[in-house]
Structure 1
Amino acid sequence: MNAPVSFEALDAWLDANADALDVDQSRAPEILPQLVRSGAAAVGVPEALGGTGGTIADAIDTIAAVAQRSLTAAFVLWGHRTFIEYVLQSDNEALRARWLPPLLAGEIAGATGLSNAMKYLSDIEPLQMHAARKGNAFMLNGSLPWITNLRREGFIAAAAFDHNDGSPPSIFAIWHNVPGVERSDDLDLTGLRASNTAALRLTDTVLDDTYRLAANAPAWLARVRPAFLGLQCGMSIGLAQRALLATLDASKASRESIRAEIHELEAKLAEQTAQLKRGVLDDTFFNTPATMFELRIALVDTVTHAVSLEVQATGGRGYLRGQSGVARRVREASFIPIVTPSLVQLKTQLAQHRRIAAA
């Protein structure tokens, strides 16, 4: 990165609060200010645009570093930083000029909202949001059942809409303060409860082109999907790294029997991390999306194995409240396969790819 970023204070805060962020919804307002204050949200954003410089690979590393300490905070950072990436990759310069500064300052929370769109791009499900032309603007309707970082203090969320006139689907940035935008109560999650995760409904919401991130959703989504999934994979990498590091806290006797497995998995994770960053930077994942789907699936297996090794190494101590973070990491690891696109959805998509290739 071109500008130094220090996460020392953020690391200490996450270590002290990770368990509370996982189980207590009332702690949600605290996360984004901590992330922004540390500079985490600005990594990979050009200095000329107010960021700290670096690449999308540096942003992936940053999300991984946060995930080592709290998947809840990493989930929030993924949502916020991914929306920032959408703004960076949008052709709408007016939208970028208006919204990038408050996003980087943490004055408003960015929410991806494009899980439905990414599934649409992969022919997994239809779009759930609909747009109708209204003069020089659009009337928007529909609902999305699960979006993270819908901060009650203020948010802007991306969503994909089909059009009733037959034109290509497009992507709009939905500001919370626009009439017809309704945020639900927080979803009653098993963990990650301070992540401001809720449903979003639009009822006759009117927005003009100044809120449109992309006029041709399929083409634009294909371009941003590597960053979307790459940043998301940062959560898997960080959680697996922390689980493997935690095995070092176990007694030597506990570690010894699984030492070879630990070293083998460390090497595997390092190679997967390098492959992820190469693929995002050199357009491999843009040109061959199936390669990225396969890596995302492989990282789920790595996380599962890493947490299992931590459980084995920690033993009964990990089942005592307050003695270690192993119980929380087991819950966090159970979330990795279901975050959109889920493991089942990716496997379905890969099977379709293989059938087409065989035909």
Structure 2
Amino acid sequence: MSTAIRSQDDALAWASAHAASLNEGAAHADEAISVLGAAGFFRIGVPSALGGSGGSTADAVDAIARVARRSLTAAFVFWGQRTFIEYLLQSDNAALRARHLPALLSGELAGATGLSNAMKFLSGIESLSIAASPAGEGWRLDGSLPWVTNLRRAGFAVAAAVEPTDGQPPAVVAFLSGTPGITRTDDLELLALRGSNTAAIRIEGVVSGAAELIHADARSFLPRVRPAFLSLQCGMSIGLARACLAAAGASGSAVRAGLQSRIDALEASLAHEIEQLQAGLASGSFATQAAPLFRIRIRLAAIVREAMDLELDATGGRAYLVATTGDFARRWLEAAFVPVVTPSLTQLHGELERHAALRAA
């Protein structure tokens, strides 16, 4: 780690200082998890009895938002790490949790949520991409994960849903880099967020058994973890929107152009969505009623777009000049990621339409 990290403020300062580098390339990609881990960010919302600092999932959402305000790339890998941690917290496999949780909380081990495919499977959008063939007392896994974030080359753990070939229910398993049969591709050529260690994984003849099992029934486990999966993801939008609104408000032209009332109104809308998100997490209602969470995620993405436009309006031509754009150009590219991260806005709208059709029927 290039800089001694002693506090969360230190880590946030590091994210600000390296935001451009993290967005544009992989020079500091492997440091982000170590920095955030050293500052204790991954312990937020984790019970103290398990090595965390206590608090709730809402506290973890706020932590991701604080990081996203400085760097969406750092927040993206934070989301991947904290979501994998959440899977272990909600797993019945205490031995698996005890084996990996300490290194995940400290940032020594990178955790990746390979369940984007599984979330699409849950919504009936696509089939599971990993087959699990019976082999002895476990399975032989074969397939691929085309897009996984936080695959730090120094070592990572991945969660994935698998489809047994013998008719058993789909399950969720974990596997480690270095396991025979696991191949990480080169980083994907992303438009932005290029320091997020995002790549594909090929899985060929990987041996998996009870020790690697996160949950035996994906169809019951995925709805249970989906509220955290999506809510933590919302932290990315919240932080980016706050950064854009702060930049718009700080521009001297905002008042002259009559933008302040629009900035104030959008800040109020953002605060409302955050309140709705916190209320749903506190009540636990998102576990049985996913549609309100989908709508919050959609509205937050719209707020990011409008906040980005306000920052551009307030900054004017300076935003389009390389010498004076500041962080605007980076945030513009970061914002383009918000609608497409799984589940994409298109997928969420489709899911809401399906829910409406079921109610009508």
TM above 0.5: yes
- For residues 17 and 297 of structure 2, the distance between their equivalents in structure 1, rounded to whole angstroms, comes to 30
Does structure 1 residue 306 correspond to structure 2 residue 293? no
Following superposition, the deviation at residue 95 of structure 1 comes to: 0.3
Does structure 1 residue 329 correspond to structure 2 residue 325? no
Q: Secondary structure at the match of 1:123?
A: coil
- What is aligned with 1:60? 61
Q: Secondary structure at the match of 1:335?
A: coil
Percentage identity across paired residues of the two chains: 51
Greater Cα shift, 198-207 or 273-282: 273-282
- What is aligned with 1:221? 222
- What is aligned with 2:242? 241
CA contact (8 A) 2:231 2:277 kept: yes
Following superposition, the deviation at residue 8 of structure 1 comes to: 1.2
- What is aligned with 1:23? 24
- What is aligned with 2:199? 198
Counterpart AA for 1:232: Q
Following superposition, the deviation at residue 273 of structure 1 comes to: 0.7
- What is aligned with 2:3? none
CA contact (8 A) 1:247 1:255 kept: no
Change in Cα spacing, 1:25 to 1:262, as seen in structure 2 (3 Å) is same
Does structure 1 residue 352 correspond to structure 2 residue 357? no
Once the two structures are superposed, the pairs formed by residues 22-61 of structure 1 within 5 Å of their partners are: 22-61=23-62
Counterpart AA for 2:355: H
- What is aligned with 1:124? 125
Q: Secondary structure at the match of 2:158?
A: strand
Q: Secondary structure at the match of 2:145?
A: strand
- What is aligned with 2:279? 278
The total of aligned residue pairs comes to 355
CA contact (8 A) 2:148 2:198 kept: yes
Q: Secondary structure at the match of 2:306?
A: helix
Q: Secondary structure at the match of 1:25?
A: coil
Counterpart AA for 1:332: E
Counterpart AA for 2:336: S
Counterpart AA for 2:359: A
Does structure 1 residue 175 correspond to structure 2 residue 176? yes
- What is aligned with 1:292? 293
Pairwise CA RMSD of aligned residues?
1.2
- For residues 195 and 111 of structure 2, the distance between their equivalents in structure 1, rounded to whole angstroms, comes to 15
Following superposition, the deviation at residue 326 of structure 1 comes to: 0.8
CA contact (8 A) 2:257 2:314 kept: no
Q: Secondary structure at the match of 2:28?
A: helix
Q: Secondary structure at the match of 1:119?
A: helix
- For residues 213 and 291 of structure 2, the distance between their equivalents in structure 1, rounded to whole angstroms, comes to 28
- What is aligned with 1:339? 341
CA contact (8 A) 2:254 2:260 kept: no
Which 4+ stretches in 1 moved above 6 angstroms? none
Greater Cα shift, 243-252 or 223-232: 243-252
Q: Which runs of 5+ in 2 are unaligned?
A: 1-5
- For residues 323 and 358 of structure 2, the distance between their equivalents in structure 1, rounded to whole angstroms, comes to 51
Change in Cα spacing, 1:287 to 1:207, as seen in structure 2 (3 Å) is same
- What is aligned with 1:211? 212
- For residues 194 and 304 of structure 2, the distance between their equivalents in structure 1, rounded to whole angstroms, comes to 21
- What is aligned with 2:146? 145
CA contact (8 A) 1:244 1:262 kept: yes
- For residues 163 and 342 of structure 1, the distance between their equivalents in structure 2, rounded to whole angstroms, comes to 27
- For residues 286 and 259 of structure 2, the distance between their equivalents in structure 1, rounded to whole angstroms, comes to 34
Q: Which runs of 5+ in 1 are unaligned?
A: none
Following superposition, the deviation at residue 26 of structure 1 comes to: 2.4
Q: Secondary structure at the match of 1:151?
A: coil
- For residues 288 and 308 of structure 1, the distance between their equivalents in structure 2, rounded to whole angstroms, comes to 32
Q: Secondary structure at the match of 1:143?
A: strand
- For residues 137 and 157 of structure 1, the distance between their equivalents in structure 2, rounded to whole angstroms, comes to 18
- For residues 55 and 106 of structure 1, the distance between their equivalents in structure 2, rounded to whole angstroms, comes to 20
Greater Cα shift, 175-184 or 317-326: 317-326
Q: Secondary structure at the match of 2:132?
A: strand
Counterpart AA for 1:96: R
CA contact (8 A) 1:255 1:313 kept: no
Following superposition, the deviation at residue 320 of structure 1 comes to: 2.9
User: Could you tell me the TM-score, scaled by structure 1's length?
Assistant: 0.97
Once the two structures are superposed, the pairs formed by residues 77-116 of structure 1 within 5 Å of their partners are: 77-116=78-117
CA contact (8 A) 2:65 2:239 kept: yes
